[in-house]
Amino acid sequence: MAEIRVMVSGVGGRMGRTVMGAVMEAGDMELVGGVDPAYRRATLSELMTGAPEIEVAETVVEALAATGPDVMVDFTRPGVVMGNIRAALQERVACVVGTTGFSEEELNEVAGLCDEHGTPAVIAPNFSIGANLMMKFAEEAAALMDYAAIIEAHHENKLDAPSGTALTTAERMREARGEDFEHQQTEHFGLEGVRGGEHGGASVHSIRMSGVVANQTVLLGGPGETLKIEHITTGRECFMPGVLLAIREVRRLDGLVVGLEALLMNT
């Protein structure tokens, strides 16, 4: 079977480099190019030992023209990811996107572009298997317990808050429950913002500090009991089985698929 030609957008970043390594190790994939304005004129081999001697492109448009990939993987940042997706779908290149911070309008636009160009895409706020199981379990518990809180912690360089995973978890829990969680209102604040954000009655707290990769705890409360569902990430390699699965499956999909769960349930 022909190898899947993969181009990585954000190849100089923490996730981009990890994806590059995973693609290089996968027997059924070929790393054909990378984009990162911060590393233009460097070669992929300068970013990672053993990577091909291919020059890093400054823009996705440039990389698409030079490499003709089957799939673009994007781990960049909110604010640039939409331009990258538009460029790839325009060229009918399937997209696997891990960048977080999408608005509802942006997701709708990507879905429309996928349909317009007959080209599929996967956007997953979390590619780790454990985190997807955490969301599924939290969704099940949400229907049966009245109070909920989500506490997420990420490294100090994460730009968006709450994390895409935390927001997706809150949305899925609210939807599964069919009504807002109980949410006690505080009358006197000694510190502004101390109750965190709120979605559907669930409070959401975001912690940013060095030493953390990506952790999330979902707390559910009922009379006399608390349920704690915790996911701890110790390394970025936890995202790679999900990213590779999406690269393998994306071209078989119809339109935009949001989240990894639909792909996991078919394996």
For ligand NAP, give the closer residue by CB, 14 or 251: 14
* Position 259 contacts ligand NAP (CB under 6 A): no
Site for ligand NAP in 186-225 (CB under 6 A): none
* Position 239 contacts ligand NAP (CB under 6 A): yes
Question: Smallest gap, in angstroms, from Cβ of residue 40 to ligand NAP?
Answer: 10
Residue type present at position 121: A
Binding map of ligand NAP across residues 132-161, x = CB under 6 A, - = no contact? --------------------------x---
For ligand NAP, give the closer residue by CB, 13 or 201: 13
* Position 15 contacts ligand NAP (CB under 6 A): yes
Confirm if 128 and 238 have CB atoms less than 8 A apart. Answer: yes
DSSP state string for the chain: -PPEEEEEETTTSHHHHHHHHHHHH-TTEEEEEEE-GGGTTSBHHHHSTT--S-BPBSSHHHHHHHH--SEEEE---TTTHHHHHHHHHHTT-EEEE------HHHHHHHHHHHHHHT--EEE-S---HHHHHHHHHHHHHHTT-SEEEEEEEE-TT--SSS-HHHHHHHHHHHHHHSSPPP-PPPS--SSTTTT-EEETTEEEEEEE-TT-SEEEEEEEEETTEEEEEEEEE--GGGGHHHHHHHHHHGGGS-SEEESSHHHHHT-
Question: Smallest gap, in angstroms, from Cβ of residue 149 to ligand NAP?
Answer: 21
Task: Let me know if 154 is a catalytic residue.
Answer: yes
Question: Smallest gap, in angstroms, from Cβ of residue 259 to ligand NAP?
Answer: 10
Nearest residue to 241 via CA among 127, 135, 132: 127
Nearest residue to 168 via CA among 129, 141, 134, 194: 134
* Position 38 contacts ligand NAP (CB under 6 A): yes
Q: Which of 154, 199, 205, 231 is catalytic?
A: 154
Question: 20, 36, 69, 231: which one contacts ligand NAP (CB under 6 A)?
Answer: 36
* Position 98 contacts ligand NAP (CB under 6 A): yes
The count of other CB atoms within 10 Å of the CB of residue 175 is 11
* Position 162 contacts ligand NAP (CB under 6 A): no
* Position 10 contacts ligand NAP (CB under 6 A): yes
* Position 168 contacts ligand NAP (CB under 6 A): no
* Position 125 contacts ligand NAP (CB under 6 A): yes
For ligand NAP, give the closer residue by CB, 27 or 235: 235
Question: 6, 7, 12, 33: which one contacts ligand NAP (CB under 6 A)?
Answer: 12
Confirm if 163 and 206 have CB atoms less than 8 A apart. Answer: yes
Task: Let me know if 158 is a catalytic residue.
Answer: yes
Q: Which of 117, 136, 155, 158 is catalytic?
A: 158
Interface residues with ligand NAP (CB under 6 A) are 9-10, 12-16, 35-38, 75-77, 80, 84, 98-100, 124-127, 158, 239
Q: Which residues are catalytic?
A: 154, 158
